[in-house]
Chains A and B, each alone.
Chain A
Amino acid sequence: AQSVTQLDSQVPVFEEAPVELRCNYSSSVSVYLFWYVQYPNQGLQLLLKYLSGSTLVKSINGFEAEFNKSQTSFHLRKPSVHISDTAEYFCAVSGGGGSNYKLTFGKGTLLTVNP
């Protein structure tokens, strides 16, 4: 079985400050990793994904995440946040343990960017 732990349920930051949202996973086999973002009253949107290759993946709006196999982590970072980044962020894993078509989600981290 696979699982995802998001270590912070809420992260408040000031605008233009850096932010890191932490995600750890457990799986006995190779996995694919995803970050999704959910804006208020909307569905989830894919932010970025790690499938293979370079361990550092980037989104078009300045977020990046690094896959660390030894620490089983996939932390999300942004060097300078904007008010519009306020949202809930979900880390998810798939591909391990025979559950090839199913995503396992973390419980989410609410990022609040204050002026």
Chain B
Amino acid sequence: NAGVTQTPKFQVLKTGQSMTLQCAQDMNHNSMYWYRQDPGMGLRLIYYSASEGTTDKGEVPNGYNVSRLNKREFSLRLESAAPSQTSVYFCASTLRDSNQPQHFGDGTRLSIL
């Protein structure tokens, strides 16, 4: 079972470059999320998609855009990367109800020089 698949696993960018992080789930989940994880900060929600066709800002959306391409895929785009966006990015998905746990991918480790 693949679960939640994120690509790429590692990436190094230069300041100002753009990049799209890909996420796909095969569990027929309705809701998908993008988080960033920084040391001592826990996970912070960047954007989420409660269902196909909808997206909403989370706690730290500045500098990012998202696309819910279909029910399976949810991408995160950095239009002009900044060193402050160096982080580990996690995608997650869940059934619609709030009492269902989220399933996480293995993360994308992004460094911006």
Contacts and interface: CB of A to CB of B under 8 A. Distances in A.
Interface of A: 9, 32, 34, 36, 41-46, 49, 51, 90, 94-95, 100-103, 105-108
B48 A51 contact: no
A42 to B, nearest CB: 6
A110 to B, nearest CB: 10
Interface residues of B, number: 26
B50 interface: yes
A interface majority secondary structure: loop
A32 B41 contact: no
Given A94-B98, A101-B50, A106 B104 contact: no
A105 B101 contact: no
Nearest to B9: A41
A44 B90 contact: yes
B58 A46 contact: no
Contacts of A9: 40
Contacts of A43: 4, 90, 104-107
Contacts of B78: none
